[in-house]
Amino acid sequence: MSSSYFSFTIEAECSRTWARAGTIDTPHGTIRTPIFMPVGTQATVKSVSPEELGAAGVQILLANTYHLMLRPGSELIAELGGLHSFMHWDGPILTDSGGFQVFSLGHLRKLSEEGAVFKSHLDGSAHLLTPESVMRIEAELGADIILPLDICAAYPCSPLEAQEAMERTHRWSERALEAKERYRPEQTLFGIVQGAFEPVLREQSARFVGTLPFPGLSIGGLSVGEPKQMMWDMLHYTTPALPRNKPRHLLGVGSPEDLVIGVGLGMDMFDCVLPTRVARHGGLFTSHGRINIKAARFRTVHGPIQDGCDCYTCRNYSAAYVHHLARTEEQLYYRLGSIHNIRFMLCLANQLREAIIAGSYPAFRDEFIACYIPTSEAMREAQREKWKAARRM
Amino acid sequence: MSSSYFSFTIEAECSRTWARAGTIDTPHGTIRTPIFMPVGTQATVKSVSPEELGAAGVQILLANTYHLMLRPGSELIAELGGLHSFMHWDGPILTDSGGFQVFSLGHLRKLSEEGAVFKSHLDGSAHLLTPESVMRIEAELGADIILPLDICAAYPCSPLEAQEAMERTHRWSERALEAKERYRPEQTLFGIVQGAFEPVLREQSARFVGTLPFPGLSIGGLSVGEPKQMMWDMLHYTTPALPRNKPRHLLGVGSPEDLVIGVGLGMDMFDCVLPTRVARHGGLFTSHGRINIKAARFRTVHGPIQDGCDCYTCRNYSAAYVHHLARTEEQLYYRLGSIHNIRFMLCLANQLREAIIAGSYPAFRDEFIACYIPTSEAMREAQREKWKAARRM
């Protein structure tokens, strides 16, 4: 799939899984896939500078349309030269559509065929988002890849609700494609596949959205509270129905183990706040799983968080110092922890790519899963609840 | 004054004031005076990395013995290779004695000729600091310049209290000098001048401590709540009684206007949390005074915080973006604001140095004071109270 502003080429495909390695070209640079995209919700990846993102191997960022349209406002960002200039990041950026946040953060007031009316979580003011207005807002933000307004069904939901949400998302997709024509040709609009947790709908949505003239596809509606296995099951119905030549973005998914498994299920792009959020709470990634740097056992550790890690943190600081900063809640900790986890994700994406090219992805995956102890389902649920509670404060 | 580990040479002196420009050599590098030293209380200058400090022109840092002895402990820091290695800062470091914090942060339990027993503000555990134990602790931390245990009299206090505190500080100074002999010769011990707000005591302390074999002198007991003019008055009694050939450090003082005035009263070194603390609350320095970046008027400002400023923040970000980060309480704001203010202080110190060398310090001082609107006494007092209240929480 290519245009003068966007192209995706596949360099290697795994013979035993759906994994592939490719290259995406955008107006702000090239992206080698599979890729992890850190999230800069409010036009900043929390506590990390653009130079540090670059040094950690970041190739593309995701920013949240919902947050930025409310504050500081997309018109202001346009006036200041667009998101790239505003946040001093010259690489590719992807903006989501705001749809997910309208349902999860904002207070949805009215959902109709026209669009969604919601109350801002900041000041209670009412806003209308339509497939058309989202195209205008994202044009003002100026990201390289943009997403259309969609409806993310709740988990759990009835099959009928799932179908209605999907069908409306499809109709909105067509409206978005039409509206986008009025704005910036250098922006690339991805389609969003929905279908909740209904295998038939997932396949149907993949086929429908996959045939529309979107140069890439985001898989939405997953990682919304369901068990992990259920998410992977849905990809089993989705991926075979997707066109081969378009990059596939798994929206809002991105723990280390998710990346490794998702790649095998045909996903090329991943974004998630998890690596930076867990870092801020002391959770740092190592090849054996996530450690808690605040644990007393790190108090006297002379060596780095992970032996052999080439991130800024591990090259310059002992685990004991990072532990000290975390325990004393020093701001430098949040930065050092986030940089380490971001670098871990980018290294992992690169290792996956190399394994795919070398034809050894299945072995890499199996070895990773054998070594890396993931956070348990129960722990994940407890963390999610804790985070939700903190957000309500 | 020089040894193989420490030397101070004066390169220029103002003919109309007591200002001078000099060079200090330490085992970790050279310091050009006058100089501002940012404070890294817990072995980190809040939110700024060592590389960023270097890029902002920082030549020497101050770290707090009181905080570090309690957490993570000076023995552990020694075991990890000392403060320089622990915090990844290879330039000169000065550690204070902990005395001031024992009186202001800790809960003093018993003050005797032997030393001070206090309860930790962290866990209530009891600790004894003596002039001798402080020398051991600072040897473990391993800073280039260290200070002896002193007694900072409260403001206000009676003349008798002031005299007793001063005389005990003098006796402790002699004990510290003797104890220091047992530890690291590459560390340089400065003396501390006290005398509260009694002109006669200030002069007496300057003469007494000035003649002891300290290669440098710190002026303590000022900026503890008294009006600014009273602080400057005390320096009028102190400076003429100090030896010319030793560097003079004004402890805990360091707003932009303090630096400009203090230099004319013979001070060479300044340290203060103020530039980084006010930055975290939105207060950023410009040549016309302190601005509040959170103010609505910065919402749409395309240009930098200060035209012509060469700091990382001003070179790369609009005032509008910094305003956005401050308003949304993003961590990157604290970093960008702190870097700007630190760079401002270091540029100012360098401008003062160049003016002294050029023989134009008085004109520079008068022009700066005419342009720079300092924060009013009332505002300063209100901020201090706010900060104290926040600290108690």
Summarised one tens digit per residue, pLDDT across range B22-34 is 999 999 999 999 9
- pLDDT on residue B3: 76
CA of residue A167 relative to chain centroid, distance = 24
**CB–CB contact A76 B299 (8 Å):** yes
- pLDDT on residue A103: 81
> Does residue B390 register a pLDDT over 70?
no
Helix (H) or strand (E) holding A145: strand A145-146
**Single-letter amino acid, residue B298:** F
For residue A86, the chain B residues in CB contact (below 8 A) are: 318, 320-321, 324
Q: Which long-range contacts (CB under 8 A, 24 or more apart) does B132-137 make?
A: B132/B175, B132/B176, B132/B179, B134/B65, B134/B97, B134/B98, B134/B99, B134/B176, B135/B176, B135/B179, B135/B180, B135/B182, B135/B183, B135/B189, B136/B74, B136/B179, B136/B183, B137/B65, B137/B69, B137/B74, B137/B98
| DSSP, residue by residue, B279-348 | HHTTEEEETTEEEETTSGGGTT--S-SSTT--SHHHHH--HHHHHHHHHTT-HHHHHHHHHHHHHHHHHH
Alpha-carbon gap, residue B339 to A332, rounded angstroms: 13
CA dist B318 → A80, A221, B6, B285 (Å): 9, 36, 42, 15
Structure tokens at B285: 């320095």
Percent of chain B with pLDDT over 90: 90
Alpha-carbon gap, residue A190 to A203, rounded angstroms: 18
- pLDDT on residue A393: 42
For residue B43, the chain A residues in CB contact (below 8 A) are: 321, 324
Alpha-carbon gap, residue B50 to B35, rounded angstroms: 17
B300 contacts chain A (CB < 8 A): yes
CB-based contacts of B155, cutoff 8 Å, min separation 6: B196, B197, B224, B225, B226
> Does residue A2 register a pLDDT over 70?
no
Which residues make beta-bridge pairs with B198? Answer: none
Q: What is the mean pLDDT of residues B170-191?
A: 98
Q: Which long-range contacts (CB under 8 A, 24 or more apart) does A257-261 make?
A: A257/A368, A257/A369, A257/A372, A257/A374, A258/A223, A258/A228, A259/A34, A259/A36, A259/A345, A259/A348, A259/A349, A259/A352, A260/A348, A260/A352, A260/A364, A260/A365, A260/A368, A260/A369, A260/A372, A261/A232, A261/A365, A261/A369
Q: What is the mean pLDDT of residues B221-250?
A: 97
A66 contacts chain B (CB < 8 A): no
Q: What residues of chain A, 82 to 121, have a C-beta less than 8 Å from chain B?
A: 86-88
**CB–CB contact A335 B331 (8 Å):** yes
Q: What is the mean pLDDT of residues B202-215?
A: 98
CA dist A346 → A57, A280, A368 (Å): 6, 18, 15
Closest to A348 in 3D by CA, of A233, A254, A211, A274: A254
Alpha-carbon gap, residue A256 to A348, rounded angstroms: 7
Smallest Cβ distance to B71: which of A47, A328, A334? A328
Radius of gyration of chain A (CA): 20
Give residue-wise pLDDT tens across range A332-368: 999 999 999 999 999 999 999 999 999 999 999 999 9
Q: What is the mean pLDDT of residues B311-335?
A: 98
The mean-pLDDT minimum among A251-255, B104-108, B168-172 falls in B104-108
Catalytic one of A25, A144, A268, A271: A271
**Single-letter amino acid, residue A287:** S
**pTM summary value:** 0.96
Which residues make beta-bridge pairs with A36? Answer: A270
**CB–CB contact B42 A330 (8 Å):** yes
CB-based contacts of A388, cutoff 8 Å, min separation 6: none
B53 contacts chain A (CB < 8 A): no
Give residue-wise pLDDT tens across range A122-163: 999 999 999 999 999 999 999 999 999 999 999 999 999 999
- pLDDT on residue A107: 80
- pLDDT on residue A52: 98
Alpha-carbon gap, residue A190 to A192, rounded angstroms: 7
B360 contacts chain A (CB < 8 A): no
A vs B, Cβ pairs < 8 A, gives 90
Alpha-carbon gap, residue A203 to A157, rounded angstroms: 18
Alpha-carbon gap, residue B150 to B214, rounded angstroms: 14
Question: DSSP H helical segments within chain B, as ranges?
Answer: 50-55, 65-70, 74-79, 83-87, 99-104, 131-141, 159-180, 199-211, 228-238, 256-264, 274-280, 312-316, 319-327, 331-358, 361-371, 377-392
Strand, helix or coil at B28? coil
**CB–CB contact A320 B72 (8 Å):** yes
Q: Which residue on chain B is closest to A81 by alpha carbon?
A: B302
Mean pLDDT (chain B) is 95
**More reliable by pLDDT, A384 or A161:** A161
Structure tokens at A203: 């396949």
Alpha-carbon gap, residue B91 to B93, rounded angstroms: 7
Handedness of CA A364, A368, A370, A375 (dihedral sign): negative
Percent of chain A with pLDDT over 70: 95
State the pairing for strand pair B269-271/A126-129: unpaired
Structure tokens at A32: 């080698």
For residue B44, the chain A residues in CB contact (below 8 A) are: 325, 330, 332
Alpha-carbon gap, residue B211 to B229, rounded angstroms: 28
**Single-letter amino acid, residue B335:** R
- pLDDT on residue A34: 98
Alpha-carbon gap, residue B190 to B177, rounded angstroms: 9
Catalytic one of A96, A150, A258, A268: A96
CA dist B293 → A102, A199, B46, B297, B322 (Å): 30, 52, 19, 8, 7
Q: Which residue on chain B is closest to A316 by alpha carbon?
A: B88
Residue burial B208-237, b: 16+ Cβ < 10 Å; e: rest: bbbeeebbbbbbbbbbbebebeebebbbeb
CB-based contacts of A227, cutoff 8 Å, min separation 6: A377
Q: Which residue on chain B is closest to A323 by alpha carbon?
A: B72
Structure tokens at A207: 């086929």
Q: What is the ipTM of this complex?
A: 0.96
Residue B150 and residue B66 in contact, taking contact as beta carbons nearer than 8 Å: no
| DSSP, residue by residue, B47-70 | T--HHHHHHTT---EEE-HHHHHH
> Does residue B341 register a pLDDT over 70?
yes
Alpha-carbon gap, residue A39 to A46, rounded angstroms: 8
Smallest Cβ distance to A300: which of B71, B76, B332? B76
> Does residue A392 register a pLDDT over 60?
no
Count CA atoms closer than 13 A to A60's CA, side-chain side.
31
- pLDDT on residue A92: 98
Best of B316, B321, B339 to disrupt the A interface (most A CBs within 10 Å) is B321
Q: What is the C-alpha end-to-end distance of chain B, expressed in Å? A: 45
Q: What is the mean pLDDT of residues A201-224?
A: 97
> Does residue A1 register a pLDDT over 70?
no
Strand, helix or coil at A26? strand
> Does residue B285 register a pLDDT over 90?
yes
Q: For the CA atoms of B379, B382, B388, B393, what is the dihedral angle to 10 degrees?
A: -120
Residue B370 and residue B79 in contact, taking contact as beta carbons nearer than 8 Å: no
Residue B250 and residue B219 in contact, taking contact as beta carbons nearer than 8 Å: yes
Q: Among all chains, which residue has been given the structure tokens 């510290």?
A: B176
Mean pLDDT (chain A) is 95
Residue B27 and residue B3 in contact, taking contact as beta carbons nearer than 8 Å: no
**CB–CB contact B299 A72 (8 Å):** yes
| Preceding peptide of B159 cis, ω within 30° | no
